[in-house]
Structure 1
């Protein structure tokens, strides 16, 4: 393996071993020991000591050596880039020395270290590792074989592309050298090796390296040969591989699909849950893949009952135990480990918000996977499933065992999307049947009923709009039942009920009005009793209600119901309490809905938001400068506070002007618009745009800086996925600012803005997300509308790509502004559009209807002038012939040509 040049000092080894050994002892102050080990990092060769203890401490306890290896792994993640080449080589040699250790825990720790080193430095800087892999994969030493495979598996998890990169001095790529050897190991007598080899090949299949593509038949035949292996781990890996191939290359499986379906059906009933779960993923994958669904039809009569059977809670399921135990401790506050990290709602301008289903997936298991499989099967086969599902569901609903009843309700929810048409005649009766289950003695029956009713929320809402109808009575009954569950003593039922209520609110919107007071009174009461976890979901239900009914929420009687408990929570929380974050989000929606009625709360809310942002920015600056800070900076506080100010700007309109004028918001905004975090910039530029709409005069003193920062975010090198929302909002805010300032204020910036926007439109088709292209087209038009004289002389250089982008924009006021900019420039430079006249015509006919009469007349007059001038030189018929018949006919009709 080569000589190890660096040599440890005995005293150093003893000291570190002593600390690691002490750490293992029960009752030890582990925090103090970790602090001492942390201090050791200041020594440049500390990691070498850890590597030596780990790799060569044969006389030491395994636990001490493994602790050294795990500590080394953590250190390398942060320090590998700053480690000297000499020390890197020593650590690498130590890992190669230990890769065939007789101890399985040590071999696994080698694997994690190897993966970290390869991820940080690349496989090309460690050619000895590839040689060791080849040697170990052909070795008769089971320890060496398993150690190499474990390391390879972890590399494929963390940095699979490393196996595709060429290594200087090596004639083949790593994947070319390793894949044939891995395939050979599918028949290894060593079970762990066989399982790892299949797992590695499954991971490599995601990137489909050339060596795998060339050996695809061998890979598939290898999977088929292991389908009946005695090892459940191997069979699980086989199922994973087949599901992956169904996603990647379904045509490869098509000739064998009948046998594969039979095998997966059998495996979905395997006694080992790991095998059953992996194989159950096949049914969703099958429905998503480009495979003829008819091949599965003959199996439905056997498959659906298997899925339904798997959907019944196991007697000892952890979730059952947790939910049942919550019945006994109702009213106790949530433990910290129950509180999940807060996730903001995000939506950049021009982007869609992500949506999520009502049932939170805490632990993915066979039950949930089977329900998901039934769900997607119903979307493919529709009401064909009903004759299979209905008798089983009806039977289970009558059973005494609550688990059977619960699974029947789960099944009804699962088929809601795909089988709704076939269920239509029975939906009213089904909802009536479900309503009493909201009062079932078992909490999981109550919670699943909330979820199932929410799955039919669209139908319930559609039939609840007609006053006095049976549908409205049923909507009323569903809301009443959900509100009862919102106040349930079991926190799991509370969670399901709030989520279901939020879903129904989205669907029903103004049909909720007759029950508004009851909804708000219930949520206000729950606000006083809920634990931290469910308060977040309650805030979401209130936000969704605000979004659904909008200004209708501003009735003084309603405001007096829900605002006092919210303000009480607001006042009880410290500025650094993370439980404040979902409340900030909730108040954002409420401020938008209440509009001017939010004014009585505006001043303290605005001041606190600004205080939070200022405090967080100061903490960030202190940490960046290596100075002490009283708080740990967290960007979510900045983002949520800025978003709430944006919501207030939207709701209060010009009334926010006095708050902005008397504050230091301008200075804070400038800092946030240049923050390294794209999430912070996203919210900051959104606020710039919203303030531009209502009090642009207060932004004029910093206009130059704002424009410079926004333009910087539109550099082509900045427009990447991780920055996209920030780039979109920067672009949108430029347009909002442009139409609110005087032409002489915008004029100095007009040309630089256009110079930055045009390359976005000129980028190859498909290389830019549609959202940024649309926003760019709108902002370019808005700037042109205000300063046409500056931009019109250059029109011919970009009018073609601009018009192509304008075709994508939906009819609204922003599109009107863009076309006003286009027509303003064409008045000045009509010749500039002639080289792209077809694109101009196609952009005009992209309108369904131009509601602005002035713009409609302007476009019509402009096209008539083009007709006159082009007819005079004999070109009109020629340019019209270049248009498609549909475009030509619509253009003629729109512009009276």
Structure 2
């Protein structure tokens, strides 16, 4: 990197090599002399005459900021000067990396603050140095300056990345890092620019406002938002510039996402202004695609805010108009642009999901409409590959919409009976969709069938003969692992719906699940749900699971041994290991509960010592999350409950069962505590009897 003989190729290759080697430089960064040297060389490279070298050097700084955050204190003053110069004067690829450095510092500090709150002690793994808080007075003006560098022809559809967008994203992260402190620094910029004749200034002011809505407290923001809301609604319909309207609709979405339902004295959205908000949003859905898409997004968050409003929602009087407006958007000729059609269906789904009983008749009217649209996509003949792709996408959206409607109408007693009259036609459509053999559509149709099975209960058995071949196909599809994973989840839905009526199909299902687990090709994320599925099957068919024990239990045992002592080097690996443990424990739980009160409970005795050993090792590792803790203490209770007197001596011999139970009983987590209280009763019964 110090090759001053003018050979820029060598310097660039060396800078990129350093970037790739930074993960291995812990020892060097722990040595002050070596750290100073590395930082000096990287900072010098940011001043190279060659753009690519400057860009690569800033990429190194970004990587250093996330890998060695705790070592940066003495360099921050210099780095600020270097990044500020780059943002102000350098070419876009370099400036973008300079902004990324500050976004990366925000990410680090947000993580630390989330983990520790403000309770830093000498024992904290990584203390927070509050770099962002210290840099605020200079950093915020620099980022606000970036917002004014929009590109006239930036492609709304492709989501082009430029300095203005990077600046806004970073400003949003700064707001999340420092909370209320950002508001007084940004408000003067907004007030100065929001009514200027130049669209760039109005758009930048709106973007700045939208960016700082996540982070500061509702108390700080509510008075400002209450003043701004009316202004935004007028701007969305009246501003002559599409960029400004696009950003205004996005900002309204952010207001509804973060300020809706906050418990301040003067709520932002009231019964009084709700009609005006809806009128503007529905009007904006007729605008150009990128503005209409953002208006759909704003309506999505508006509806979501009324999810827990009980039986009365301010949206109910306008429900029919909202649904009609969204359906109209899906039929626009330009609905393929700016993700508009997708946004309209996603919003329709959310509006239905958060609707009240009062609007159920309108949701019911939606069923034949969506079914007819799905039917029409299946009738289309001789399509080009491009048309086929669009058709598949539409089928996926329609199946997704039907899934939400099934969950909504099928779960309420008042609508379930009438709704179930559509079940046969719906199932026929889903089976025709499977015949199209497209992965995305396959996923959505599978989820919709899972929902239909759940609300149909045992009656779903009449569809199993026709559906089973597609279920098999999904379980065998290890290449498109999301399809496989979703199909495994649907097997769980079928078990809960059909109970022992699923028995005739279990040989085939278990064969495919065991084959999947033995395959080296299977994506690791599918394994936890497969183990969990063993539990669902055992729970559904009870002692009939006997013939699968000799295959399932050794697989569970080897997975348990691996997961108990897994090397969880990073957060991602630890999260996966805990998912795996949870799946294994859910399998054990389902198997024990399935055999409860059966004369065949003795069949489980040979496996009990290992299961208790697994629970001991989980307790001793001290790295299980709350979900695993709850399932684990539940398994201890299930084991005692099912095996009864036979379990007593084994539990007494277990090294840490007693301590584990006591820890769970004193947990702050109510679910863990409840499981532990039940386990305690079951264990006491087993031991005393």
Asked if TM exceeds 0.5, the reply is: yes
1:303 corresponds to which residue?
A: 139
Q: Check conservation: 2:88, 2:95, Cα contact below 8 A.
A: yes
2:341 corresponds to which residue?
A: 535
1:779 corresponds to which residue?
A: 587
Quote how far apart the aligned CAs of 1:248 are. 1.9
Q: Distance in 2 between matches of 1:365 and 1:819?
A: 57
Quote how far apart the aligned CAs of 1:811 are. 10
Superposed CA offset, 1:616-643 (max 9, x none):
3xxxxxxxxxxxxxxxxx4333333222
Shift of the 737–696 alpha-carbon distance from structure 1 to 2, 3 Å rule, reads same
Q: Does 1:794 align with 2:598?
A: no
Q: Check conservation: 2:99, 2:166, Cα contact below 8 A.
A: yes
1:435 corresponds to which residue?
A: 233
Quote how far apart the aligned CAs of 1:366 are. 0.9
Unaligned runs of 5+ in 1: 1-182, 324-337, 339-360, 617-633, 870-897
Stretch of structure 1 that moved more, 240-249 or 755-764: 755-764
Q: Does 1:705 align with 2:503?
A: no
Q: Distance in 2 between matches of 1:385 and 1:263?
A: 23
Q: Distance in 2 between matches of 1:811 and 1:250?
A: 32
Equivalent residue for 2:545, pick from 724, 746, 749 = 746
Q: Does 1:249 align with 2:68?
A: yes
Q: Does 1:735 align with 2:532?
A: no
Equivalent residue for 1:643, pick from 447, 450, 456 = 447
How many residue pairs get aligned? The number is: 620
Q: Check conservation: 1:820, 1:855, Cα contact below 8 A.
A: no
Q: Check conservation: 1:719, 1:727, Cα contact below 8 A.
A: no
Equivalent residue for 1:667, pick from 469, 491, 510 = 469
Shift of the 797–816 alpha-carbon distance from structure 1 to 2, 3 Å rule, reads closer
Q: Distance in 2 between matches of 1:696 and 1:295?
A: 57
Shift of the 473–820 alpha-carbon distance from structure 1 to 2, 3 Å rule, reads farther
Quote how far apart the aligned CAs of 1:390 are. 0.7
Q: Check conservation: 2:637, 2:683, Cα contact below 8 A.
A: no
Partner SS, residue 214 of structure 2: coil
1:276 corresponds to which residue?
A: 95
Q: Does 1:591 align with 2:406?
A: yes
Superposed CA offset, 1:507-553 (max 9, x none):
3314445343332232123233262341111111122233334x748
1:547 corresponds to which residue?
A: 353
Unaligned runs of 5+ in 2: 109-125, 380-387, 411-415, 569-573, 596-600
Equivalent residue for 2:306, pick from 500, 503, 508 = 508
Quote how far apart the aligned CAs of 1:718 are. 5.7
Equivalent residue for 1:318, pick from 139, 153, 160 = 153
Q: Distance in 1 between matches of 2:290 and 2:106?
A: 32
Q: Distance in 1 between matches of 2:73 and 2:631?
A: 51
2:112 corresponds to which residue?
A: none
Q: Check conservation: 2:478, 2:516, Cα contact below 8 A.
A: no
Matches within 5 A, 1:70-469: 183-185=1-3, 187-206=4-23, 208=25, 218-289=37-108, 293-297=129-133, 299-314=135-150, 316-319=151-154, 362-421=159-218, 422-439=220-237, 440-462=239-261
Q: Check conservation: 1:826, 1:832, Cα contact below 8 A.
A: no
Q: Distance in 1 between matches of 2:426 and 2:16?
A: 54
Q: Check conservation: 2:641, 2:682, Cα contact below 8 A.
A: no
Q: Distance in 1 between matches of 2:296 and 2:228?
A: 21
Shift of the 552–843 alpha-carbon distance from structure 1 to 2, 3 Å rule, reads farther
Partner SS, residue 509 of structure 1: coil
Q: Check conservation: 2:261, 2:267, Cα contact below 8 A.
A: no
Q: Does 1:605 align with 2:426?
A: yes
Q: Check conservation: 1:553, 1:559, Cα contact below 8 A.
A: no
Q: Does 1:828 align with 2:646?
A: yes
Report which of the two structures shows the higher radius of gyration computed on alpha carbons. Answer: 1
Partner SS, residue 456 of structure 1: helix
What TM-score does the superposition give when structure 1 sets the normalisation length? 0.63
Quote how far apart the aligned CAs of 1:406 are. 1.3
Equivalent residue for 2:498, pick from 683, 695, 700 = 695
Q: Does 1:676 align with 2:478?
A: yes
Q: Distance in 2 between matches of 1:851 and 1:247?
A: 34
Equivalent residue for 1:578, pick from 362, 367, 392 = 392
Q: Distance in 2 between matches of 1:255 and 1:858?
A: 54
Quote how far apart the aligned CAs of 1:772 are. 2.2
Stretch of structure 1 that moved more, 294-303 or 243-252: 294-303
Shift of the 666–569 alpha-carbon distance from structure 1 to 2, 3 Å rule, reads closer
Q: Distance in 2 between matches of 1:857 and 1:293?
A: 45
Shift of the 463–418 alpha-carbon distance from structure 1 to 2, 3 Å rule, reads closer
Q: Check conservation: 2:51, 2:94, Cα contact below 8 A.
A: yes
Q: Distance in 1 between matches of 2:86 and 2:433?
A: 55
Quote how far apart the aligned CAs of 1:241 are. 1.8
Q: Does 1:559 align with 2:394?
A: no
Q: Distance in 2 between matches of 1:854 and 1:296?
A: 43
Q: Distance in 1 between matches of 2:521 and 2:586?
A: 17
2:385 corresponds to which residue?
A: none
Shift of the 473–401 alpha-carbon distance from structure 1 to 2, 3 Å rule, reads same
Quote how far apart the aligned CAs of 1:858 are. 7.6
Shift of the 829–274 alpha-carbon distance from structure 1 to 2, 3 Å rule, reads closer
Stretch of structure 1 that moved more, 812-821 or 299-308: 812-821
Quote how far apart the aligned CAs of 1:495 are. 0.8
1:723 corresponds to which residue?
A: 524
Q: Check conservation: 1:524, 1:565, Cα contact below 8 A.
A: no
Superposed CA offset, 1:456-515 (max 9, x none):
2245431599999973334444344322222x2311111111122223333331444534
Q: Distance in 2 between matches of 1:853 and 1:252?
A: 44
Partner SS, residue 653 of structure 1: helix
Q: Check conservation: 2:399, 2:444, Cα contact below 8 A.
A: yes
Superposed CA offset, 1:557-614 (max 9, x none):
3322x34543343133147532322222222222222213543433233223223334
Q: Distance in 1 between matches of 2:56 and 2:43?
A: 11
Quote how far apart the aligned CAs of 1:374 are. 0.8
Q: Distance in 1 between matches of 2:268 and 2:251?
A: 23
Superposed CA offset, 1:149-192 (max 9, x none):
xxxxxxxxxxxxxxxxxxxxxxxxxxxxxxxxxx343x241334
1:131 corresponds to which residue?
A: none
Q: Distance in 2 between matches of 1:809 and 1:211?
A: 39
Superposed CA offset, 1:309-361 (max 9, x none):
211253x5322xx56xxxxxxxxxxxxxx6xxxxxxxxxxxxxxxxxxxxxx7
Partner SS, residue 215 of structure 2: coil
Partner SS, residue 529 of structure 1: coil
Quote how far apart the aligned CAs of 1:826 are. 3.9
Q: Distance in 2 between matches of 1:212 and 1:292?
A: 18
